Structures are given as structure tokens and as C-alpha cells.
């Protein structure tokens, strides 16, 4: 069974529109939200994490689309239209969560890991519960893509790549914040979870 987006023109258009809502601001942010352009006084501690993150995310996306067509036997057979709709909603909700988190951080958000000595520990909005809500938003968006493709192999490959990339990135980011901000961030880490409130 092939994905609905390949057999139904309306589903294809809806999926493409959701992808544009997700990708367009990310592309713009890639050029405008770096330490070099947004926070020149910050010290970059990226350790290649941005490259690793992007490489794994795009590898996961490429695999998810390839597997959806290469392994139709792995298709999720039940309630395909509802599953597709759920996937699109998850994509858009993930985008909304990610950009709300980015807006909450304001000038302290950069694509590359960069920290200022005088940087405060942001604990408002979603940051009261989790340390990386922007990444949680990305997870939800990727889950939505996988669901919209209605294929277990696609979903598994995509989530594996995305989670691996974000685990490394979160480790690098937390190390940099711990070393630069010190005790206030260590205490914040003790009170919060990484990606999922009250769970992990």
C-alpha cells in the first residue's frame, strides 16, 4: 500500500502545504539565527552538533520517503485517512511548539550552540517543564511526517535518526550551558526533564 499522498491529489497538496509551513521558516532562520549574525558577543560551543543534527534529520527524511515506496508491505493499513490527518495536525502542532519555544528564548536562541557569560536561565513558558521544547516541537513534526506517510518502516527510520541527532545536540548544549552559566543551570536541570514533561 502506497502513501495517501501518492494516490490522492488533495492529500498531496495538504501535505505539501504543511511541509512548506514547516520548512520555510527553518530555511530563513538558518541564515538569520546564528551567533555570527544574532549574538556576536556569544561564545560558540557547537562541537559540530548543528551539522550532525541536520545530517541525521535529512537522512531520516530521505529514508522515510524511500521506505514508504520501497516497502509498501510495511504500510499501516488501518484508518489511513484519519492517520494522514493526524500526521498533518502533529506536523503543524510541532511547528507551533517549536516557534513558541524559539520566541520565548528570544535573542538567546541561535542555530549553533552559543552561550553568553551573562546569559540567564530562561524558565518561562514551556521552559518551566522541559529544557528543550524547540526540539520537542521538531520531534512532533517528524512524528507527523511519519504518520502522514502511513508506513511503519518510514516512521521508525525517521524517528531513530531525528532522536539520535537531537540527543547529541542536547548533550552539547547542556554541557555548554553548565560550563558557562554554572550552578543556576545545574539546578534548573535537576528540576526539569529534557524533552517530555515529567517523563524524560
The domain locations on the chain are 4-191
pLDDT at 140 > cutoff 70: yes
pLDDT at 34 > cutoff 70: no
pTM comes to 0.92
Q: Is 46 helix (H, G, I), strand (E, B) or coil?
A: coil
pLDDT at 36 > cutoff 80: no
Domain spanning 4-191, CATH class: mainly alpha
The band of 37, judged by pLDDT with boundaries at 50, 70 and 90, is low
As a whole number of angstroms, the distance between CA 113 and CA 134 comes to 13
**Overall average pLDDT of the 132-150 stretch:** 97
pLDDT at 56 > cutoff 70: yes
β-strand pairing of 114-115 with 43-44: antiparallel
Average pLDDT, the chain: 93
Predicted local confidence at residue 112, as pLDDT: 87
**Overall average pLDDT of the 177-182 stretch:** 93
As a whole number of angstroms, the distance between CA 121 and CA 131 comes to 10
User: How many Cβ atoms from other residues are within 10 Å of residue 20's Cβ?
Assistant: 10
**Overall average pLDDT of the 191-195 stretch:** 96
Query: Of the candidates 180, 159, 133, 172, which has an alpha carbon nearest to the alpha carbon of residue 63?
Result: 159
pLDDT at 40 > cutoff 70: no
Amino acid at each position: 500500500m502506497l502513501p495517501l499522498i501518492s494516490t490522492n491529489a488533495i492529500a498531496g497538496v495538504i501535505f505539501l502545504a504543511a511541509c512548506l509551513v514547516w520548512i520555510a521558516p527553518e530555511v530563513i532562520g538558518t541564515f538569520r539565527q546564528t551567533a555570527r549574525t544574532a549574538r556576536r558577543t556569544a561564545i560558540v560551543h557547537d562541537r559540530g552538533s548543528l551539522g550532525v543534527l541536520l545530517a541525521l534529520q535529512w537522512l531520516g527524511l530521505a529514508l522515510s520517503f524511500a521506505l514508504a515506496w520501497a516497502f509498501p508491505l510495511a504500510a499501516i493499513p488501518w484508518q489511513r485517512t484519519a492517520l494522514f490527518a493526524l500526521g498533518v495536525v502533529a506536523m503543524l502542532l510541532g511547528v507551533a511548539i517549536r516557534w513558541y519555544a524559539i520566541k520565548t528564548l528570544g535573542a538567546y536562541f541561535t542555530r549553533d550552540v552559543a552561550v553568553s557569560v551573562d546569559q540567564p536561565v530562561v524558565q518561562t513558558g514551556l521552559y518551566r517543564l522541559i529544557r528543550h521544547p524547540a526540539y520537542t516541537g521538531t520531534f512532533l513534526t517528524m512524528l507527523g511526517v511519519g504518520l502522514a506517510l502511513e508506513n511503519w518502516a518510514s516512521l521508525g527510520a525517521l524517528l531513530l535518526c531525528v532522536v539520535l541527532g537531537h540527543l547529541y545536540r542536547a548533550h552539547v548544549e547542556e554541557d555548554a550551558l553548565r560550563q558557562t552559566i554554572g550552578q543556576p543551570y545545574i539546578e534548573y536541570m535537576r528540576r526539569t526533564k529534557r524533552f517530555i514533561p515529567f517523563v524524560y
